[in-house]
Amino acid sequence: MLYGAQTPRRRDAQRNRAAIVEAASEMMLSRRTTVLVPEIARRAGVGQATLYRHFPDRQALTAAVIAHELARLEAYVAANADRPAAFRDLLAELLRTQIAMRPLVLHVRRLDRATRDRYQQRMIATLAGPLRRAQQDGYVRADLGPADLALLCTMVEGVVETADADAATRSIDLMLDGVCVTGAAAGPAAGPAAGPARRA
């Protein structure tokens, strides 16, 4: 066997793992508070035993879904690196996804603090470059720091906890109106920006 070549079993295992993560991510786009493992396995087209071989507990699966969503965010940022005006759309979709993926948010709360902080820092690091470019071109207020992006997520979460999803969505518009600059000299980006994450 050539060095680095994969066996059919290994390829199948990788496909199964990817299918499980994708299914779990899609099912967490709901207003439910719980997503059951049998439902995830059925949607992924695998048995529960296969799911548990890849993810022995809910925390492991939650971590994989977070990493999956962060990778999607990073891919969106890379694809729009030359569009500083897209930062508002990027941030809006990130916050809307936070509202839509309630089961994931609730699972994240159960992770230990160090793990939560690690994922938050990865998110902030991903957004730091687009934020800086948007500020340089006059699309975002100059005093907004990368750490403030985490604060915006906390603010949206507070609205979700005390009101409802519609109010939380409204709060996003209000926050972005305070963060982003209208009528920037550089002008709007050409064409609509595709959000980094899916909505419910």
DSSP 88-116: HHHHHHHHHHHHHBHHHHHHHHTS-HHHH
- Whether 168 maps to a domain, the answer reads yes
Question: Mean pLDDT across the stretch 153-180?
Answer: 89
Rounded to whole angstroms, how far apart are CA atoms 178 and 140? 9
- Whether 38 maps to a domain, the answer reads no
Question: Mean pLDDT across the stretch 175-200?
Answer: 58
- Whether 154 maps to a domain, the answer reads yes
What residues make up the domain containing 121? 58-179
- Whether 170 maps to a domain, the answer reads yes
- Whether 5 maps to a domain, the answer reads no
**pTM for this prediction:** 0.79
- Whether 11 maps to a domain, the answer reads no
- Whether 16 maps to a domain, the answer reads no
- Whether 133 maps to a domain, the answer reads yes
Rounded to whole angstroms, how far apart are CA atoms 60 and 53? 11
Q: CA triplet 119, 114, 30: central angle to 5 degrees?
A: 45
What's residue 195's pLDDT?
45
Residue 194 has pLDDT above 50, yes or no: no
Residue 9 has pLDDT above 80, yes or no: no
Number of domains in the chain: 1
Rounded to whole angstroms, how far apart are CA atoms 18 and 75? 17
- Find where tokens 């006059």 sit: 138
pLDDT tens, position by position, 15-74 = 999 999 999 999 988 767 778 899 999 999 999 999 999 999 988 999 999 999 999 999
Nearest Cα neighbor of 14 from 71, 64, 66 is: 64
